[in-house]
Chain A
């Protein structure tokens, strides 16, 4: 497990080639996501699928908030749409987001997982099934254990896993739950996760 990442380091950091990145966050997640995604440059070509726990009832402004700050297309995921490279997707409030075997997206309203719908576990495990080893999973700050088991599942399927350093997370329960289940490839502060995103894209595209 590596605890720093810098794209400028002379020692070649060996990153795998991935086709997609999945990200999960809960309490403190908006700030954390803004921080890691601020590293994204125009022309970024990997798709990023994100679950952030949000209240179910409201129409979410997430996509607009992030679109205003990022140079790539940002949208709330639609049912049955194909994943478009270089797009940042958010799960809509009140719906679980899954990746299907044909790499399209689907929404569902099954029971909440850890009181949450959308659930990080549902996105991560379905993406793990669909992408196998060609997937990077990133779990950030949060006050519940959603995402921990499925991040281990991504790892078990040969994918790459990243956990935010709990000491620097606004809520440490989620990253700690992840660490209790498996040793991720990287345990990093937010800044380094941003750099890693950029590097993953450079290698894959």
Chain B
């Protein structure tokens, strides 16, 4: 068991290094520029809350996009690239079970996504905090002249603004983005074990990604709608059973609007993700175990 974990860790580390050498972290520079731009926009008609919402929207949107695209593309490229470089044969010639190879690769990709999201989260929180304090200072100066406001009112306003700024809830949002990326990556891994080219994996994974965002509609039609055609019911059942529900991970819209994600809800999301990743790894292994390479 210890040896198995050790091998997985070595494979994950090697995958991480391989991806870092592909200069994937350059995306972070683009992200920083984007967030800095959103943070410096000064729209006169926007109040503090709306200005901060814009920074959160742009930052979390870019993080979500990066995590999902990276999860698909990196996973699609890894196995074919290992075959091209003949690294795969060297690894599998050693006593490394194929399931460990798959888990190692998956972990490596998730580590790069995790590190990138952590770096983006820190940068974006810094920009948001600076913006929050700047806007608050401006508003406080204006409020100081208003005789109808008590000290309590001013403090209450400051609290409201801070609730829209840097809070622990943003960590939950970044966590949800990471969890979604885990499922996207694991599903791309399943597809890459069936596929023969990276392009096929990318195209099919992107399709799965989009269908996953409307899976809930099919599920509702299958489970809740009475009547309807047999073919339509069968089709919606198939979509609901085969495709993951990515909408469950899209909690960032709620977070940006100021809704709080309770700890229990986060735990459920973590559990569902573990379930997805576990099953997808089993499925990927079933296909990959005796695949002719």
Q: Do A and B bind each other?
A: no
